[in-house]
Amino acid sequence: MIGSEIPHPEGRELHTRYTAADLAVFTPEEARRFIPDGDGDPGTDSVLAWELLYRLEPDLYDQLASAERLHPGILAWLPRSADRIVEVGAGTGRLTLDLVDRGRDVVAIEPAAPLRQTLERKLAAAGHGGVRVLPGFFDELPVPCEYADLVVACSAFTPDSTHGGEAGLAEMERVCRPGGCVAIIWPNNVNWLTARGYQYVTFDGPMAVEFPSHDKAVELSEIFYPEAAGEVRAEGLRRVPFELTGINPPRDVAYKIRPR
């Protein structure tokens, strides 16, 4: 069996959930980007493992993203009103649903078709069918130059060329109008961005991953935070402090105001 037909057992850690056979799920364009040599091992390549998660188990990813809530300071910091907003790497809508009332025209760009489908269902259910959900990669955004007042990526941009890099940053800036803002929420390499003229803001206070139940906290911790899973189970946790997960909490933004 290949692709989505392969069973992925409950609780199996992310890096062991997929095999090389799962790479068949990639479209030709995705394969060109993620496995340029024609093969790869998701067991040793975390980038491949995450890309397969998005395409094979989008609901599982959505459960994680829904629990990893952004610091409220980020939402307060973002512009309250904008004519046009472009979100890149929208996923299943971790940020999108908070953007729809802030812009007259909101475009959500996401390369993985299963995540786009989940996002479209969420937007329709919330009565936000006017948001355009488009396919696209960081380095090829399907948006005209100087289109948006706010261009934003949340937990998606990295310095690696497959998820942004120099070309992706240039594309985000190309799409942003003079005087507009390019914002990278929950950046994974602040120094890389500040070296390219980005400013940085962070928001204080304790943060936790907010699971709907203890059982769900155990299940998802075993997959995504295996080193924390034992304590989550033993302590009966539903709210898992980010310190326990071993990852930085989503409390910061790197941003640039494009010169006029």
pLDDT in tens, 89-123: 999 999 999 999 999 999 999 999 999 999 999 99
Q: What's the whole-number mean pLDDT along residues 168-187?
A: 98
Q: Give me the pLDDT at residue 3, please.
A: 32
Residue 196: φ, ψ to 5°: -110, 25
Query: At 120, which helix (H) or strand (E)?
Result: helix 113-125
**Domains located in the chain, CATH noted:** 3-56 (no CATH), 69-204+249-257 (3.40.50.150)
Instruction: Name the residue among 66, 31, 65, 28 with its Cα closest to residue 48.
Output: 31
| Residue 141 Cα distances to 46, 156, 162, 227, 256, angstroms | 25, 14, 14, 37, 18
- The dihedral formed by the CA atoms of 85, 88, 89 and 91, expressed in degrees to the nearest 10: 10
pLDDT reading at 1 higher than 50? no
Relative orientation angle of helices 113-125 and 46-56, to the nearest 10 degrees:
50
pLDDT at residue 129, rounded to an integer: 84
